Each structure stands twice: as structure tokens, then as C-alpha cells.
Amino acid sequence: MSDSCATPTANAMSVDVEDYFQVAAFSPNIDRSSWESLPCRVERNVSLILDLLDAHAGHATFFTLGWIAERYPAMVREIVERGHELANHGYGHLRASEQTPASFRADLARSKSVLEDVSGAEVSGYRAPSFSIGAANLWAHDVVAETGHRYSSSVNPIVHDHYGMPDAPRFAWRTRAGIVEIPPSTLRMLGRNLPASGGGYFRLLPYAVSRWSIGRINRIEQQACVFYFHPWELDPQQPRVPGISAKARFRHYLNLERMNARMQRLLDDFRWDRIDAVFAREIGLQRTPDRQCCSTPTSSY
């Protein structure tokens, strides 16, 4: 671990387990009915991630699609066997904001059942595809609780063209439904929340920006960082999707060839663990006295 940014804080690493053709930005170009016929890359990419985490003594939470778990049960079991948390990403990568309460409930229950049956492990966490819980559908937290989850990582407190709730708390908070919302990390600068948690921003900006941002969250704000990425981001050889927009092409393919080296630096520069370990006290799994609990009262949202 680099001396210049080392902190005693354990940060939360997370992986959204979906294949390249399931990305929401590609949905206008790839019909769901064609998923079965497309070449899958997720096994190869998850295996690479597991080896990277082992090499750097890190652990992570893998938010996994039920669709993926049904087709690659051995991969899902390996995630659990190698000490990582298995969590729910929905069944077929449908945004929460595009579903009714009834269809959302069915989607979460189906995926949770598949994940638990395949792995033999309890699934406590949920992350909505594309961080698609926000001000217009906070009812979704009720459904997350009703389907047996103990936490969500689905509200991104930024301004974005596809998602975001910029006035939401930046750190872990308890919802009216009683579950804990654990948002991806942001920095508060210039009167707004800036992304500091991975995704396309990690590939777009120089690595030093992410390194500085995470270090600041750890040292100045004394909070754990919540980082996320996708298996396809470590795969520059993935098939190219024809006909996509220039914006989607830029966001998806930018700097894929640099991602492996950046992840190795990130894993070496900071301490990384599973979400249910880093936020054990907030979720209610155990008590850990080294950090403050949720940042806002239950009645706020």
C-alpha cells in the first residue's frame, strides 16, 4: 500500500455482475430476446476480478443478475467460496424506475431466490440497475425491505442524465422502510456532489484524481468509500456493438485497455472489503465502534 495515501479505513468494493450486452445504454440496440445468442464474456471477466482481489488481499460485494446466476452457477458459487459477498442486481437488468411496484417486487424476489438457491448463501443487499431509485420512486425501498433485503446501494446523490438524486445524503442513511441505503461515494465541491466512486468516471479521469478523492473521503471526512465497476470494463476485446450513439460508444469503450492496471493500483493503494463487512454496524449485522452510523435520521426519506 502506498504510504502517501494509506489510511486505516476499510473501503467497500463492489462489482455489478452483468455482461457487456446487458448494459442499459445498449438497450435500444440489443433486444433482450437476442441475449441467449450473443457471446458471453462474464465468466472470463469475473475470474480475472477474483484473481485480482486475491492478489491484493481484497474482498468485494458482487451485485449479480439472476439471469447470469441461472446460466453460470459455478461462477456464482466460486464468488462465495472465495470469501466475497453475493448480492442482488435484479433478474434481467430492468431499471427500478421503469417498473411498477408489483413487477419490481416479482423481479427482486425471483432474482434473490435464484441467487440463494445457486449459492447456498443469504442475500442481504440490492443495487438497482443504473442506480435507478430516486426521488420519483422511493417506494422501491419498501419493496427492497419486503423482499428480505437489509440494505440497498441504489441512490446515487449526483446529477446525471440517466439517474441521480443530488439532494440525497452522501453517506449511509436509513430509509423509512427500515433498510440502510449505502450510496456510491461522492465529493462535495463547488456546491455540488461530484462522482468519486468508479464507473465511467474512473476510466475517464486520470487515476490520480480517483486516488486523491478516495483519500480525502477517508482522511478528511473519515468515511469509507463505496466504489463500483463492471466485469466488462476489464475486457477491451469484448465484441463491439454496432449502431450505438456516439455518447454511448465514448462512455462504454473509453480506456478499457487501461482498466486492469488502474484496478491493480487502486487495490494496492487502499484497503478494500465487502459492503456487508464495511457497513456491518449500519446494516445491523454486528457492532463496530470505529465509525459513526447512518448520516441522517429514519424520517428523512
Per-residue pLDDT tens for 143-176? Answer: 999 999 999 999 999 886 566 689 999 999 999 9
Please, are residues 237 and 115 in contact by the beta-carbon 8 Å criterion? Answer: no
188 in a structural domain: yes
If pLDDT is split at 50, 70 and 90, which confidence band does 199 have?
A: confident
Helix axes 42-55 and 73-81, enclosed angle (nearest 10)? 10
Q: What's the pLDDT score for residue 46?
A: 98
List all residues 6 or more positions away from 242 whose beta carbon is below 8 Å from its beta carbon: 29
> Which residue(s) pair with 186 in the sheet?
195
d(Cα 96, Cα 254) in Å, to the nearest integer?
A: 27
Q: What's the pLDDT score for residue 160?
A: 65
Taking residues 237-248, report their average pLDDT: 95
pLDDT at 190 over 90: no
3 in a structural domain: no
Taking residues 118-128, report their average pLDDT: 98
80 in a structural domain: yes
Q: What's the pLDDT score for residue 2?
A: 43
pLDDT at 296 over 70: no
For the chain, percent of residues with pLDDT exceeding 90: 85
Taking residues 95-106, report their average pLDDT: 97
Listed residue (105, 88, 143, 57) closest to 276, CA to CA: 88
Please, are residues 59 and 83 in contact by the beta-carbon 8 Å criterion? Answer: yes
d(Cα 101, Cα 154) in Å, to the nearest integer?
A: 16
d(Cα 218, Cα 197) in Å, to the nearest integer?
A: 13
Q: What's the pLDDT score for residue 170?
A: 96
Domain encompassing residue 43: 10-286
Per-residue pLDDT tens for 42-65? Answer: 999 999 999 999 999 999 999 999
CB-CB neighbours of 38 under 10 Å:
14
d(Cα 89, Cα 67) in Å, to the nearest integer?
A: 10
58 in a structural domain: yes
pLDDT at 133 over 50: yes
Per the model's pLDDT, the better-predicted residue between 283 and 191 turns out to be 283
pLDDT at 290 over 50: no
267 in a structural domain: yes
Q: What is the mean pLDDT of the chain?
A: 92
Question: Quick check: helix, strand or coil at residue 230?
Answer: coil
Q: State the first-to-last Cα distance of the chain, in angstroms, to the nearest integer.
A: 38
pLDDT at 117 over 80: yes
Q: What's the pLDDT score for residue 4?
A: 44
CATH code of the domain covering residue 263 = 3.20.20.370
Grid cell at residue 236: 477491451
The number of domains in the chain is 1
Taking residues 179-192, report their average pLDDT: 93
Q: What's the pLDDT score for residue 299?
A: 39
101 in a structural domain: yes
2 in a structural domain: no
Q: What's the pLDDT score for residue 36?
A: 97
Taking residues 112-124, report their average pLDDT: 98
Q: What's the pLDDT score for residue 158?
A: 86
pLDDT at 28 over 60: yes
40 in a structural domain: yes
